[in-house]
Chains A and B, each alone.
Chain A
Amino acid sequence: MSPETTIQAALVIPLVGAVLIAFSGHWPNLRETITMITAGTLFALVASLYPLVMNGGRPSVVIGEMLPGLSIAFSVEPLGLLFAMIASFLWIINSLYSIGYMRENKEKNQTRFYVCFAIALASSIAIAFAANLLTLFAFYEALTLCTYPLVTHSGTDKAKKGGRVYLGILLFTSIGFLLTAIVWTWLIAGDLNFTSGGILEGKASDLVIGTLFALYIFGIGKAALMPVHRWLPAAMVAPTPVSALLHAVAVVKAGVFTVIKIVIYIFGYDFLSSIGTTNWLLYLSGFTILTASILAIRQDNLKRRLAYSTISQLSYVIMATAILAPLSIVGAGLHIAVHAFGKITLFFAAGSIYTAAHKTEVSQLDGIGRRMPWTMTAFTIGALSMIGVPPTAGFISKWYILHGAFDSGHMLAIVVIVISTLLNAGYFLPIIYAAFFKEEEKDNDNGNFGEASVAIVVALSITAAATVLLFFFPGLFIELAQKLI
């Protein structure tokens, strides 16, 4: 199969899967088998592009011309492949987990859930492979829209409110700022293709570039930089597999991915570091990292705490990008992957606790480690990776980011990373301590419970194992990320 066909197939297969899932809604087993097969095929297709891209190939496909001179086109480059591989691999595991979670919690409208999930994946792959800003923007919006039914899955008033904030912030920022920025870019540069070294150099004054940059950064609401982060905690009303999708697989990753992509391929990091009007991003992301970590400490709801942790972790990626040193950009690419594995493990664990014990608050978790050893071990691994302790993958990406910061002399960034590591430890370690070492409250009337179902445990064990394995064998991703610079 030629690489071009592979790209087309990777874009179409999740959609075909969605249609088949919709038609097999009456037979849950068939429906879920189709999901798994689709996910597996998708990953195989995406992974098959790896050797080619490593050898410098950039296969591309043009689907059609949307506006005169602006086409819907796809082209695979290292960062996109990295994102696509993570998304498609985690979809397999997430589907496995969803099967356990959705069945055990007897959720309604499961078919709609799987259909939207498949469409969300198709959009993510399209974002990853987008060859120009217009294509990226189109599927960015598609991703927002097709995850909306997932966020409001339960249909309760609370879900509706959460959905409103989710959609409101994401659409408002993207149409309000991102679209403006794109049109503006087009007028300045006459081009929207992602090009190595950027397309804007020398085409406008520093002030214009700075403004444009701000429009981009705040237009990409999915990257959850403060103050446009509020949708993430609001979207916590969704079922856990959806949270995992939002945080690890697709949505926030699409956000930071877009940020990196724009910095590297639209502005060009050499160009950005030569002008001074974009430094504020460094401070803003540092601020977000610290504030979100402090907020996370104050959350008692486990999922909300994880949400704030995500906000702070995303800003790691943005800050690493804003340092604009080659090594830190490698770190940023790596951190996307690393955070994906760590965070999905944490969410799987949270969902597992909810499924087995119906507990949602941190303060209820005393002694739970003894009842659910697998879940809590996985949780510990995920948490350690978030803090950045070896032997978990989080250490590797943090190493690269710090290294890059040292090289370029960004002392502030280093201070922020150190403090935030302490804060991370501050909100994760108590949970782990309580789970394993505190006595269970006796008057707890939830009675006996053990581990959640097999599918859930297997899923979270795989991601936890992957988090550790990535520490020992990070080569795959590092090589890919190094192609970026």
Chain B
Amino acid sequence: MIAAHLPILQVIIPLIVAPIALIMRDSRTVWVLTLSVTWVTFSISLTLLIEVLDSGNIIYRIGGWAAPWGIEYVLDKVGAFVLVIVSAIGSIVMTYARQSVEAEIPDDRIYLFYTMFLLCLTGLLGIVITGDVFNLFVFLEISSLSSYVMISLGRDRRALTAAYRYLIMGTIGATFYIIGVGLIYMMTGTLNIADLTVLIPSVSDSRTIHTAMAFLTVGVCLKLALFPLHLWLPNAYTYAPSVVTAFLAATATKVSVYILIRIVFTLFGDVNILEASGLQNILMTLAIIALFTASTIAIFQNNMKRLFAYSSVAQIGYIILGLSFASQIGIAAGIIHLFNHSIIKCTIFMGLGCITLRVGGVSVKDMCGLGYRMPWTMAAIVIGGLGLIGIPMTVGFVSKWYLVRAAFEQGMWPIAALIITSSLLTIVYVWRIVETAYLKPAPKNAPNIKEAPLSMLLSSWVLALASIYFGVNATTTLNIALEAADSLLNGGLK
């Protein structure tokens, strides 16, 4: 009985618990509550993934109303996979969160933070699972609004302006999205994704649909911080509390990528919009520019969080690049990198959170000699860094292998060369950190510091080890990604 309602429970549980958390107020109790919710959602999403892999897409009609009148929740392989990523990251970040949150957020606001976290989780999960473009907008705004709040909770006063800027940019993005949805609705009279897939080809030549496509893409690209629409991201990541950075870096932009996948390959899947509209070239060019510009900027950053924020922009470039190949291998590379990058970035930002907790900051000066003062934390960060570079036996290698392969397969030699060159830039900024942490002596007056608390270390290490495990044994995840890519190219939600 319950099993049939899992798709809705997935979203509704965090949504219901959020106000409860608000009422409870006591920070410990709320943490325990949030923690259990995240783990419950994680197990639900795993169950759903297994179900989807076993027996195909799940369709859930809310209140029993059939589409296109009611809202449908639809879960295919891509969705189920992203769902697992989001909820897994959510649960691990929550396990990690307590000490870090207590140190970085004023006591009287902690319960608010957890409330926002739950809402954000609701929004992100909802985006992935919903089968209705307007409902998607609502979830997008739920998650965005709550993430603005979470970012503004950072200690630095610049967190406020960062949140404000993100809000302006994010709202513009969302509004663009809704304009696009409106135009599509005008032409087709439905908001259901599965219906749209069927109806769009008949009207795809009209100018309205092209305009809609443009609005949708730009709006979503704002949210996923594709270069040059990434301006909100570095500040937001830098000044947000560590936990928030770890969570958002691993999920928020990824879910936006998921929206883009849905638009490009599901909504417009049958008209091969990428080639038809020249979008393929645009995305590819932007992605490559992102790789180089953002990596180069990252090299010169002194604040580690900002450095990795720029690195995120570059890595999003990889994901988009993979998608823009529009071949099975390419899309699979994009999806697998989405997963891999979530793991890597979450590890790194959690590690940086440990450092913030013990040292008080994450500028280059704080990092000196940390390799000896916090060996475990630094080791986790280094593993993450190796993953970013794409050293074999880390997840990064798997994604890079597939990206290069996709480029070769399409005969795009220069692009393969560019992918490889850009990963050389990654070596430079990752190695700068290694050198500071291991080869520069700690400042003389540095206080004696302990290693980070166990729960925080453990959660970062779970992810660090995951990044190695999925690097050595990528077959499971890759097969899911390949199947997901296949289902996107052939049929989508039908």
Contacts and interface: CB of A to CB of B under 8 A. Distances in A.
Interface string B425-456: 00100010001001101000000000000000
Contact of A160 (B405, B417, B439): B439
Contact of B417 (A141, A149, A180): A180
B475 interface: yes
Contact of A67 (B391, B398, B408, B420): B398
A418 B438 CA distance: 46
Contact of B472 (A66, A179, A187): A66
A163 B405 CA distance: 31
A167 B427 CA distance: 9
Nearest to A157: B439
Given A160-B435, A160-B439, A175-B424, A68 B417 contact: no
B391 A145 contact: yes
Interface size class of A (residues with CB under 8 A): 20 to 34
Nearest to A171: B427
9 contacts: A66-B475, A67-B478, A141-B392, A152-B438, A159-B439, A163-B435, A180-B416, A183-B408, A184-B408
B475 A176 contact: no
Nearest to B478: A68
Interface in A231-274: none
A473 interface: no
> Shortest 6 CB-CB distances between A and B: which pairs?
A138-B392, A65-B475, A183-B404, A160-B439, A138-B393, A64-B473
A137 interface: yes
A141 B391 contact: yes
Contacts of B404: 179-180, 183
B327 to A, nearest CB: 13
A142 B386 CA distance: 11
Contacts of B400: 179
B401 A183 contact: yes
A172 interface: yes
Contacts of B478: 67-68
B464 to A, nearest CB: 15
B393 A176 contact: no
B409 interface: yes
Given A138-B393, A141-B391, A176 B424 contact: yes
Contact of A66 (B390, B435, B441, B473): B473
A155 interface: yes
Given A68-B475, A142-B393, A164-B431, A175 B408 contact: no
A72 interface: yes
Given A68-B475, A172-B424, A176-B420, A152 B393 contact: no
Interface string A153-197: 001000110011001100110011001100110110000000000
Contacts of B472: 64, 66, 72
Nearest to A167: B431
Contacts, number: 80
Contacts of B475: 65-68
Contact of B386 (A145, A179, A184): A145
Interface residues of B, number: 34
B437 to A, nearest CB: 12
Given A138-B393, A141-B392, A175 B420 contact: yes
Contacts of A149: 438
Interface of A: 64-68, 72, 134, 137-138, 141-142, 145, 149, 152, 155, 159-160, 163-164, 167-168, 171-172, 175-176, 179-180, 183-184, 186-187
**How would you classify the secondary structure of chain A's contact residues: helix, strand, loop or mixed?**
helix
B431 to A, nearest CB: 7
Contacts of B386: 145
Contacts of B405: 183, 186-187
A67 B474 contact: yes
B390 A175 contact: yes
A381 B279 CA distance: 69
Given A160-B439, A183-B401, A176 B421 contact: yes
Nearest to A65: B475
Contacts of B315: none
A180 B416 CA distance: 8
B423 interface: yes
A187 B424 contact: no
A159 B427 CA distance: 18
B391 A180 contact: no
Contacts of A187: 405, 408-409
Nearest to B434: A148
Given A66-B393, A138-B393, 4 more contacts: A64-B472, A64-B473, A66-B398, A159-B439
Given A68-B478, A141-B392, A172 B401 contact: no
A159 B405 CA distance: 37
A68 B421 CA distance: 25
B36 interface: no
A80 B431 CA distance: 32
Contacts of B392: 134, 137-138, 141-142
A171 B390 CA distance: 11
B439 A152 contact: yes
B479 interface: yes
Contacts of B409: 187
Contacts of A184: 408
Interface in B465-494: 471-475, 478-479, 482
B80 to A, nearest CB: 20
Contacts of B417: 180
Interface string B40-70: 0000000000000000000000000000000
